[in-house]
Structure 1
Amino acid sequence: VTSIEGEKVICQIDNTGELRSRAGVNLPGAATDLPAMSDKDKVDIKYGMTKDVDYVAASFVQNGEGVMEIKNYIQQCAKELNWPPTKPLPLLISKIESMSALANFDDILDKSDGIMVARGDLGVELPLQQVTNAQKEMVAACNAVGKPVIVATQMLESMAKNPRPTRAEVADVTNAIYDGADCVMLSGETAKGKYPVDAVRVMNEIILGAEGHITSGGIGGISHKRFEGIASIEGAIAKAAVTAAEQNKDDTKAILVLLTDNHNGSTAATSKLPTLVSAHRPQVPILVFCPNAKVGRQLMIYRGIHPVVMGMPNEQDDESQRIDKAVQDATAMGFIESNDDIVVVTVEKNAELGQTATMKLVTVP
């Protein structure tokens, strides 16, 4: 920048290249006082809620205060839209794209429902050699508290023009899985690339290959840093369910979690048990039987969770009948078969005891 004239910024161009319209502008190291939401952002959030979006991804979050400002606005929109009290609100993913966000990361993580490691802008804000370290540290921090984390940007960038990725890109995606990412995300590859379907297929193949090399104990493969759990009944049940599955890993084929009501409108972030099971990184599928599609969709962002909409149970159905129905559905979907062992966790409301959670070991008939 050579000078500022009113609302114009006069710059000197140091490199050759293509200058395009509507491109973002980065100011590495500069403190900005931009609001957490622009007027356009507010319009978009409210419009998205009328279309029942499950998540809102907030760009250039600076601190936890900005996260809460967006969450409060979502609450305000819910009132204006007469949002049903038992319907989960959209959850908030904070995109980490600046040095200020990194400096305030713990506060942002605490107040967010999930994190996106947005490496494109982060690579402009940080020295390139620090981006990988920042990614690993953020993924580990999210794993430690059981919150979902997305690694994004330029994962298969060459596939925007070519039908096959570079070997370095394959290694990049693989290492994000090894780090403990819940999701890896494509952007330009599918938004404007020549091979969008191939990019998704290749990404899926890389994920399956990486996950197949991860073991619970690290023998013969890579071991995730394990989630330590939280001091609660749900935390203890989640840890016990994963431990039971791993101690009988040759025969246990799945963990089934039955949510038998909508938790009085709780969301995937507050219906903790399925997400806590996921946070322990079990090596078997987690089938979560949900009371409604909204809860199921919000759970899909967590590693290993396969939501199944079961609906509200009939009042006359007891726990064993609900488990039988879940086992039938899981068998029909091909996750389990006769004589397989499974771990079944049920979460329900009890008029006298409040929310209860139980775990059973079941052999599929």
Structure 2
Amino acid sequence: MQIPDHKTKIVCTIGPASSSEEVIRELVLAGMNVARINFSHGDFESHSEVIRRVRRIAADLDRPIAILADLPGPKIRIGKLEKEPIMLHKGNFVTLTVDEILGNEKRIPVNYKQLPESVTPGSLIYLSDGFIQLRCLEISGKDVICEVLVGGQLYSQKGLNLPGAKIFIDPVTGNDLKILEFALSEGIDTFSISFMESVEDIRKVRDFAAARGKPVYIVAKIERRQAVENIQEILKETDALMVARGDLGVEIPIQEVPSVQKELIYSAKLLGIPVITATHMLASMTDNIRPTRAEATDVANAILDGTDAVMLSEETAVGNYPVEAVEMMAKIAKTTENWRSRTKWGLDTIIKGIAEREMSVDEVITLQVHEALQKLPVAAVLTPTRSGATPRRISRFKPETWILALSRVPRTYSFLSLSYGVYPVLVEETIESWEKEATEKAKKLEFVKSGDIVIFTQGPSLGKPGGTNMLKILTLE
């Protein structure tokens, strides 16, 4: 097989531009590791077909490809416009209404019935990812009368943000639970929660799935100020993090987004929690064959921050160049990873942060793996795992060497597709010797050959999750 030339994982949103069997196959070959299904759009029938296609192509190509179901949450949007786009001009007045009408430049419908209760005179209201800014002047029944502070073109169904306002909708909505029920029936076990604010939102999804006998992985999307403020509690409960910079850049001052991104990634990495950095990464490639220099730099900086994965949204969902966007992401990742390997960028910070925490035996073993990788020409790290914790912890050090994570648990195998530098391998239920199995698999996949040095880790019990307490350095025969 052809070993990937980069270790940063790539998440692709599947949409009209990428849902065909041909394009999905090209996305996988270009470097897609995770297919994101955005349930804000489409219907269950079309999503079911996409899920089957992704699985069929992953099996055909023998590639580990995870599927991430994105629960839409309480996204506030404007309604349908009579003609679009409409143009809102600075200094003009416009009325937002919860009445179901066709909108125009004077009167725009909103799908959030509690809008008049959430705003007060002086409140700022943002439309279309914050590019249009309004100020509330007056509330009259179902109407909110506003002045346009920053104008622009507006299309139907664009988002509306109310930074700092009380939102009278549960982050996990009834519609989310219907989607969750459907996705569970399709065998999906990884879900991202939109607009979440606290650990209770994670528990609601986890408990709903558990009541149906389905353990799930949760990706907490950080896109509200409350989530940023509650991040330490969220990190104790979530399985992964997404820095969702679109709405986050409206909910908090946009100039704070870069530093918040760095803090979120660092906090997650200390705990071995995988992170996805998302939104507007290569947005200009929705329409153009090449990204801007700023976008290329943004992707590189996210990788240098320590993100495990970078995500494409409209670029692959509705863009003109979905495959080229993935190829570009892979090229940026490869170049950035090579530079980081030469300079050891950011490594001291994460090592110091880990060392300052109370360390378990598992933590010490993964630190020893890192130290061995600095001193020896190791071809691969082989880690049998039930929970995925050990390969995720080793991944924090961003090693130049691939981590082959062998698991008998399909959901662990799938979820490890999110972790930097981890190549998951699904193995048979009965394993007589993990060391023999791991080395044979690594040879078969052409990650190693006879004469290579490998690191092998294992726990004290084949049936006990976690508890890695052994490290062996082997020279392969």
TM-score bracket, normalised by the shorter chain, equals 0.7 to 0.9
Matched pairs, number = 337
Would you identify which runs of 4 or more consecutive aligned residues in structure 1 move more than 3 Å? Answer: 2-16, 354-357
Q: Distance in 1 between matches of 2:187 and 2:216?
A: 8
Q: Distance in 1 between matches of 2:253 and 2:261?
A: 13
Q: Which has the larger radius of gyration?
A: 2
Return 224-233 or 272-281, whichever deviates more. Answer: 224-233
Sort the Cα spacing of 1:23 and 1:236 in 2 relative to 1 into closer, same or farther, 3 A: same
Q: Distance in 1 between matches of 2:210 and 2:384?
A: 28
Q: Is the partner of 1:93 in helix, strand or coil?
A: strand
What residue is the counterpart of 2:297 in the other structure? 171
1:283 is displaced (CA, Å) by 2.2
Q: Distance in 2 between matches of 1:7 and 1:94?
A: 33
Q: Does 1:104 align with 2:234?
A: no
What residue is the counterpart of 1:56 in the other structure? 191
Aligned residues of 2:172 and 2:196 also touching (Cα < 8 A): no
Show the 5 A alignment for 1:285-304: 285-304=402-421
Aligned residues of 1:292 and 1:311 also touching (Cα < 8 A): no
Q: Distance in 2 between matches of 1:19 and 1:170?
A: 27
What residue is the counterpart of 1:86 in the other structure? none
Q: Does 1:343 align with 2:460?
A: no
Q: Distance in 2 between matches of 1:45 and 1:9?
A: 34
1:309 is displaced (CA, Å) by 1.0
One of 338, 363, 371 as aligned partner of 1:243: 371
What residue is the counterpart of 1:68 in the other structure? 203
What residue is the counterpart of 2:174 in the other structure? 39
What residue is the counterpart of 2:116 in the other structure? none
What residue is the counterpart of 1:134 in the other structure? 260
Sort the Cα spacing of 1:167 and 1:63 in 2 relative to 1 into closer, same or farther, 3 A: same
Return 238-247 or 303-312, whichever deviates more. Answer: 238-247
Q: Distance in 1 between matches of 2:197 and 2:250?
A: 16
Higher relative contact order (CA 8 A, sep 6+): 2
Q: Is the partner of 1:284 in helix, strand or coil?
A: coil
Aligned residues of 2:194 and 2:220 also touching (Cα < 8 A): yes
One of 182, 185, 192 as aligned partner of 2:311: 185
TM-score by length of structure 1 reads 0.86
Q: Distance in 1 between matches of 2:421 and 2:439?
A: 18
Q: Distance in 1 between matches of 2:263 and 2:277?
A: 12
Q: Distance in 2 between matches of 1:221 and 1:244?
A: 15
Aligned residues of 2:223 and 2:247 also touching (Cα < 8 A): yes
TM-score by length of structure 2 reads 0.66
What residue is the counterpart of 2:345 in the other structure? 222
Show the 5 A alignment for 1:1-365: 1-76=136-211, 78-79=212-213, 83=214, 89-215=215-341, 220-224=343-347, 225-227=349-351, 228=354, 231-248=359-376, 251-259=377-385, 262=386, 268=387, 271-314=388-431, 317=432, 319=433, 322-347=434-459, 349=461, 357-365=469-477
Aligned residues of 2:383 and 2:404 also touching (Cα < 8 A): yes
Percent identical among aligned pairs is 32
Q: Is the partner of 2:154 in helix, strand or coil?
A: coil
Aligned residues of 2:451 and 2:476 also touching (Cα < 8 A): yes
What residue is the counterpart of 2:52 in the other structure? none
Q: Is the partner of 1:22 in helix, strand or coil?
A: coil
Aligned residues of 1:142 and 1:148 also touching (Cα < 8 A): yes
Aligned residues of 1:245 and 1:255 also touching (Cα < 8 A): no
Q: Which amino acid in structure 2 is aligned with residue 162 of structure 1?
A: N
Q: Is the partner of 1:28 in helix, strand or coil?
A: coil
Unaligned 5+ residue runs, structure 1?
84-88, 263-267
Aligned residues of 2:450 and 2:476 also touching (Cα < 8 A): yes
Return 130-139 or 98-107, whichever deviates more. Answer: 98-107
Q: Distance in 1 between matches of 2:476 and 2:350?
A: 29
Aligned residues of 1:245 and 1:342 also touching (Cα < 8 A): no
Q: Distance in 1 between matches of 2:382 and 2:157?
A: 47
Q: Is the partner of 2:461 in helix, strand or coil?
A: strand
1:350 is displaced (CA, Å) by 5.6
Q: Which amino acid in structure 2 is aligned with residue 46 of structure 1?
A: E
Q: Which amino acid in structure 2 is aligned with residue 313 of structure 1?
A: T
Relative to its length, the structure with more strand (as a share) is 2
Q: Distance in 1 between matches of 2:189 and 2:405?
A: 17
Q: Which amino acid in structure 1 is aligned with residue 472 of structure 2?
A: K
Sort the Cα spacing of 1:12 and 1:178 in 2 relative to 1 into closer, same or farther, 3 A: same
What residue is the counterpart of 2:36 in the other structure? none
